[in-house]
């Protein structure tokens, strides 16, 4: 039995930043290790859940949880493209 995925922010968006709906088969979920301040706050370890849109051909939209940021930087939103 697999445990449900828990996001640091509580949940993932229903759509990418370009508006494509993220249903089954419409996104690619991965784990990316990182040593930024945001990743250090992740209860699952130093890293980010990264969701890349696969709904639209060539869509560059990526969402990260928690957002990637380093001390001294303005915190970035979950969508790196703003």
CA–CA separation, 10 and 78 (whole Å): 12
Query: Is residue 67 exposed (0-12), middle (13-18) or buried (19+ Cβ within 10 Å)?
Result: buried
Per-residue pLDDT of the chain (82 residues), as tens digits, is 445 566 666 677 889 999 999 888 899 999 989 888 888 877 777 888 899 999 878 899 999 888 888 776 665 554 444 3
pTM: 0.67
Amino acid 28: pLDDT: 92
Output the average pLDDT for the chain: 78
Are 14 and 22 within 8 A, CB to CB? yes
Domain spans of the chain?
Answer: 1-82
């Amino acid at each position: 039995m697999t445990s449900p995925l828990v996001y640091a922010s509580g949940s993932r968006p229903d759509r990418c930043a370009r508006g494509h709906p993220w249903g089954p088969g419409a996104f690619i979920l991965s784990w990316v290790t990182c040593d930024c301040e945001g990743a250090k706050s992740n209860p699952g370890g130093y890293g980010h859940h990264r969701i890349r849109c696969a709904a639209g051909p060539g869509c560059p939209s990526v969402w990260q949880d928690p957002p990637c940021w380093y001390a001294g930087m303005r915190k970035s939103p979950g969508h790196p493209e703003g």
